[in-house]
Structure 1
């Protein structure tokens, strides 16, 4: 067993928890119970939520999964040796000197893992087809195990040490799940004892205020504990407390943890976390809403609609062909192959995505019929297009989740929906997604509000530069395994695609735990009309003197990437990474530069002087306006998951990489770069774009402004770092501007205050404008004629949101 298990390990082990919960559209036990047996009906309902319904235990893939469950339970049972300080020899929970250091975190987690193993045994006892169904001896061992952990550590006399999560969420959730599954085998005295222990570690005061570790996903987890405690112990008051304590989770927040109106989801104060903590919250809410529906404790808070809206506002933008984008999964990206996984199954963005899809299906049971139908169509489309990680081969999804998603795929009445397209900007978490019909991209940034990366509990030790402008992209039928196939333990962490970095050596976990590493910058964000965007990041390198201005202009078939004002005095080299493709174990993928195919051997490196375009076979193209000096590199890199996460496997892994980067040299004083990323295009299309020198006009690429114009698209985008004049635009203060001129004689002008500091702004567009068709209340004056002058009032309270003005052109 690992020294540090993870939330994900626990979720898989319990099989019916927040990330993995799901069930079919078949009936659940009747929730309209009489007062006398309502607790019993709720236990039956939770049991169905945990174990799943509507599948045959004698058909695949369920037959094999049930047999595997039985084998795991049998293995746990055979190795269970009750002793002082442990139930299994490798899970010693007796901390000789309890404190808050890393070691005591490990001890408290081993207690949780002990309950989790008992939960696996209980599931094998209750499920059909495990080979242990209804086994009396197994039931006796489960009960004996509960008694031993209760007597040894998880009891009302124990002082908490280590990680709060183990005591208040991980352990009690697993314990209460077992109590539901084994209720008929537990004496009244045992139930009283176990409930007393839960009350000791999770008192009513745990949800008295919406602060600290009682917010967002953690609050939903705590509510689950309270509600299940009430159901197991027959306490209406506990159920009501847990239900009522969900209410602070629903409303939008403007700082700290939770959902934001712009679709952002934050946990740990400064970490974008829709992919993991947000998934836990989504699944947890779905399960609790389904559990309490129709009971005396039905959740009726009207603000729950905010969570329903968030399915497409906050989660769908980061789901693509079954995967969830790593830029919103925090330290979860380092949880690849667990040290305690005998099959060496790698957890990746696709498996995390499947868990979210099952949570969406579950949440749909409490939403409107229209919402439920649309979500099922989205889920079916995502799953059908997930060729990289087919649903039926997912080894981490619970039986309940697998049954839930398979029922959607098999439902002939559900039509699969296409991937949503368009641009979404998430100012509150410094993220953006750009989705086109055949590809999708995502940008990860950092500011004084949003961390570069999160490390903690020995996880994600080298994610330092993920917030330095990392540009992820995926194709609809290609390149979906880029970040899935052992990318994080094998990639050069100083050469993440899209980033500008100093090669200064950083220590593991540099900057501090739980998102402590944040740059002291405000200008991070952009403006979008929902289809295209102008995005910028004032970059300060983590624990470095590096500063740079980075911009991305997201267009119909490409992303224009500019960098300027790149300065550093670290005494090390500085690089801007154009691309770093993971080619897998033996991938080749020819690189063509200006019509010449480069060597495919590994290793290979070459300085490509005066390059105007490059193309990676099966991936896409890169255009360098005006020519550029680019370095190309092929290499095989070997790493271990334990290099980036102390709880993961230490088996060496090797992957091939093809890297393109701009080398700015040691301590540059004013370096720059410019290139176009064109996912999915052919060699000929790349060459044609490079030859069309008038397609893109770079209006500015300096430390003060960055801007481009694409006449054929009617697009102009400018990031004013200090105000000033660029092309036909003049701004009185820092702002982001994006203009789309339409074929119908109108134009949409999008303006934002990424700094959230402007109390006034004037923007002038030197273009004839006949009239203003629509404008937000932030526009205090608009003068039309030979040019357009827009005066904005106080923008500091707009949270970086785009202000959209529509005009009729003169």
Structure 2
């Protein structure tokens, strides 16, 4: 890309001169603070809108976008008609979102080069006058806070303060003081005293951002220090409620996994604050801030697939708009690239490669094109950062990392193998079945009943393109549900839909996994035990103890694909062309349905496959294999190979399989007992893998998080333990292996792996 023009530097220099000209003389300490606040104003602008040298406003696509922004700002300025009831005739007060957003757009046109209104006094004065009018009539210090608290304490003040900071040279002292007084009323310093309620997680980051902007607008060093210091609780790992967990989970609203909603907001906010505060007296120096860097790889990246953020961590936002998952993926990518600018070199290199990989693979909604066409001026900075990464031959496009990631503290799992990816959404005593609120996601009842998402090559839009409005909400893929009709918004709002289940989670060695859910239906008598065994080319799905007294049929939905693809079947199998295959062992009747479903003016084709357990089943069960991306011949061949995966147990006491070709034996012990060659003294998950080189791994976990001790026995001759674990208290080798572990409850559901050297069996 051609370097920035001289005109660009002059535009930024002129703006900086205007900012400096408004500062009165000060003593030495005040001069230090004045310099710091000048730096904060510049950094604020650069973090959101880009810095000199990032892009050339005279070149496309920036020239057209900037000109469009300037034209929009001119229209807004010219249409302003202040009255007691509005600032613009088409936006009657209170207009808590739209009116401040227009003022911010005008201020951005003032601050950005190439808009035709850069540093234009008339535009800056109009921004100041608009802020003054809005503060007098709506956002006044003596106004009554009505409606959603978020508008008054985060959304509205952030937009107004953003506009005020960007157009600072043309705000009078009176205008600035009135705005600061109003913000102080609704977001007083005491708002950040306690890390509770709606001042946690992403909300806390937003409140700190508002506090910092208020500090910049009023040149208040005390508030700047408070904004930085009040972030510290966000950096601490939590064991319950909102925040980051050590396993990579992120929760908001107490019980909702939310990397793709509030989490993305939090990451964006922290990346911005790190960039803005760097090199100032209020730079973030808390060592615990390392949690944010770790979260990029542990909490966010696992849930981004080919540029889209998976819906199982998007809370009530899943049905807001088509392709919202790709939009959230771009937001996360933008935050990661911004955070990379202040991160250590190792993280910077890894993240740039990771984002490049996402962008290269997202052919559904290509990131660069989407950023170019987005309405927000801040997307110009993301476009420039991403363009630089894509154009840098020294930055490789990182591939999707193969393997399994289990998030026991948020009842989620993500599995990646060659050519496909799957993700599992469950509910537990600490994780909601679903979240609804503000009229959103009213039919998401069963997303926590074991919904199994999966993507094969070429299907990056499967859950993006009108899936949520048109899918049958009683037949979500992978779920076991009572077909009892539910009202919209059944269960409590804001994630207050947690069932009593404690055994939810599983064991993983990072490659394969045994995951289970003790299922209790939402507003239903349904109870079931569900297990998923994630392998190289398949997910083996088991259900047992399916019992219900709702007086209606109970179904297990093998799949519900948004497709009109050809569906064929044979003895014990079914196949969807260009999607994948399903193996359903003998004794089960697989039912199918082809239908077109219409909602909100769109129609989509669906292929549904399910197992009908009948009305009020008593201890019903199922077994099926999902084979993402498999061809019809491979599916039929797997169905003919009855010994490929042997079911060791499928009851409400244990569920387990053995896959000899992979050396895998895995059992979810709902109670103590034995299944095949494995035995456990207490409820747990066990995954054993013969590595084929004379060694094997034994992985155990305590999904209930309550074991003081656990003994696991494997009927396999073992010579020695070659790698133990801190919680391994005792190991007995010989004709069989016995492992005794200590307090697994302290592991918060995480897996413990022990490596052993096998010995030949004695004939």
TM-score, normalization: structure 2?
A: 0.92
Structure 1 residue 93: Cα displacement:
4.3
Listed one character per residue, the Cα deviations across residues 541-561 of structure 1 (whole Å, up to 9, x for unaligned) are 111111111100000111111
8 A Cα contact 2:591 2:612, kept in partner: yes
> Aligned partners of 2:72, 2:443: CA distance in 1, in Å?
33
How do 1:43-442 residues align onto structure 2 when only pairs under 5 Å count?
A: 43-53=41-51, 54-74=54-74, 76-77=76-77, 80-88=80-88, 91-93=91-93, 110-130=95-115, 132-134=117-119, 136-336=121-321, 346-394=322-370, 395-396=373-374, 398-442=379-423
Partner of 1:556: 536
> Aligned partners of 2:83, 2:544: CA distance in 1, in Å?
63
Structure 1 residue 773: Cα displacement:
2.0
Partner of 1:681: 630
> Aligned partners of 2:239, 2:741: CA distance in 1, in Å?
22
Question: Secondary structure of 1:661's match?
Answer: strand
Question: Secondary structure of 2:588's match?
Answer: strand
> Aligned partners of 1:331, 1:532: CA distance in 2, in Å?
30
> Aligned partners of 2:569, 2:56: CA distance in 1, in Å?
55
How do 1:703-722 residues align onto structure 2 when only pairs under 5 Å count?
A: 703-722=652-671
Question: Secondary structure of 2:399's match?
Answer: coil
8 A Cα contact 1:454 1:463, kept in partner: yes
Q: Does 1:667 align with 2:627?
A: no
| C-alpha distance 415-138 of structure 1, shift in aligned 2 (>3 A) | same
The counterpart of 1:484, out of the listed 464, 467, 480, is 464
8 A Cα contact 2:296 2:336, kept in partner: yes
| C-alpha distance 434-84 of structure 1, shift in aligned 2 (>3 A) | same
Listed one character per residue, the Cα deviations across residues 288-311 of structure 1 (whole Å, up to 9, x for unaligned) are 111111112111111111211111
Partner of 2:602: 653
Question: Secondary structure of 1:303's match?
Answer: helix
> Aligned partners of 1:168, 1:71: CA distance in 2, in Å?
30
Question: Secondary structure of 2:240's match?
Answer: coil
Structure 1 residue 330: Cα displacement:
0.7
Structure 1 residue 722: Cα displacement:
1.4
Structure 1 residue 194: Cα displacement:
0.8
8 A Cα contact 1:522 1:755, kept in partner: yes
How do 1:714-733 residues align onto structure 2 when only pairs under 5 Å count?
A: 714-733=663-682
Structure 1 residue 374: Cα displacement:
1.0
RMSD: 2.1
Listed one character per residue, the Cα deviations across residues 770-792 of structure 1 (whole Å, up to 9, x for unaligned) are 22223223232222211122223
| C-alpha distance 58-506 of structure 1, shift in aligned 2 (>3 A) | farther
> Please, which runs of 5 or more residues in structure 2 have no aligned partner?
1-11, 21-30
| C-alpha distance 211-126 of structure 1, shift in aligned 2 (>3 A) | same
How do 1:536-575 residues align onto structure 2 when only pairs under 5 Å count?
A: 536-575=516-555
Listed one character per residue, the Cα deviations across residues 390-439 of structure 1 (whole Å, up to 9, x for unaligned) are 12331446222222222211222211111111101001100010011311
> Aligned partners of 1:57, 1:470: CA distance in 2, in Å?
47
| C-alpha distance 574-130 of structure 1, shift in aligned 2 (>3 A) | farther
The counterpart of 1:444, out of the listed 425, 432, 451, is 425
How do 1:592-607 residues align onto structure 2 when only pairs under 5 Å count?
A: 592-594=568-570
| C-alpha distance 36-121 of structure 1, shift in aligned 2 (>3 A) | closer
Partner of 2:701: 752
The counterpart of 2:685, out of the listed 707, 711, 736, is 736
> Please, which runs of 5 or more residues in structure 1 have no aligned partner?
1-25, 95-109, 337-345, 595-610, 641-651
Listed one character per residue, the Cα deviations across residues 412-470 of structure 1 (whole Å, up to 9, x for unaligned) are 22111111111010011000100113111100000010001111111111111111111
Partner of 2:585: 625
8 A Cα contact 1:29 1:41, kept in partner: no
> Aligned partners of 1:461, 1:499: CA distance in 2, in Å?
18
Structure 1 residue 253: Cα displacement:
1.1
Moved more, 300-309 or 60-69: 60-69
| C-alpha distance 145-347 of structure 1, shift in aligned 2 (>3 A) | farther
Question: Secondary structure of 1:786's match?
Answer: coil
Listed one character per residue, the Cα deviations across residues 145-187 of structure 1 (whole Å, up to 9, x for unaligned) are 2112101121221232222211111111111110111111101
| C-alpha distance 270-172 of structure 1, shift in aligned 2 (>3 A) | same
> Aligned partners of 1:593, 1:716: CA distance in 2, in Å?
29
Question: Secondary structure of 1:767's match?
Answer: coil
Partner of 2:750: 801
8 A Cα contact 1:782 1:789, kept in partner: yes
> Aligned partners of 2:150, 2:175: CA distance in 1, in Å?
24
Moved more, 59-68 or 546-555: 59-68
8 A Cα contact 1:256 1:270, kept in partner: yes
Structure 1 residue 713: Cα displacement:
0.5
> Aligned partners of 2:398, 2:198: CA distance in 1, in Å?
38
> Aligned partners of 2:326, 2:477: CA distance in 1, in Å?
20
Listed one character per residue, the Cα deviations across residues 688-740 of structure 1 (whole Å, up to 9, x for unaligned) are 11122211101111122110000010001111111211101111221111111
> Aligned partners of 1:221, 1:553: CA distance in 2, in Å?
40
Structure 1 residue 56: Cα displacement:
2.7
8 A Cα contact 1:61 1:392, kept in partner: no
Structure 1 residue 329: Cα displacement:
0.9
Listed one character per residue, the Cα deviations across residues 281-334 of structure 1 (whole Å, up to 9, x for unaligned) are 111111111111111211111111121111111111111111111111111112
Partner of 1:535: 515
Structure 1 residue 356: Cα displacement:
0.3
| C-alpha distance 202-305 of structure 1, shift in aligned 2 (>3 A) | same
Question: Secondary structure of 2:581's match?
Answer: strand
| C-alpha distance 127-85 of structure 1, shift in aligned 2 (>3 A) | same
Structure 1 residue 144: Cα displacement:
2.6
Structure 1 residue 131: Cα displacement:
5.1
How do 1:464-475 residues align onto structure 2 when only pairs under 5 Å count?
A: 464-475=445-456
8 A Cα contact 2:368 2:386, kept in partner: no
Listed one character per residue, the Cα deviations across residues 505-559 of structure 1 (whole Å, up to 9, x for unaligned) are 1111111111001101101000000000000001111111111111000001111
Partner of 1:598: none
> Aligned partners of 2:597, 2:276: CA distance in 1, in Å?
48
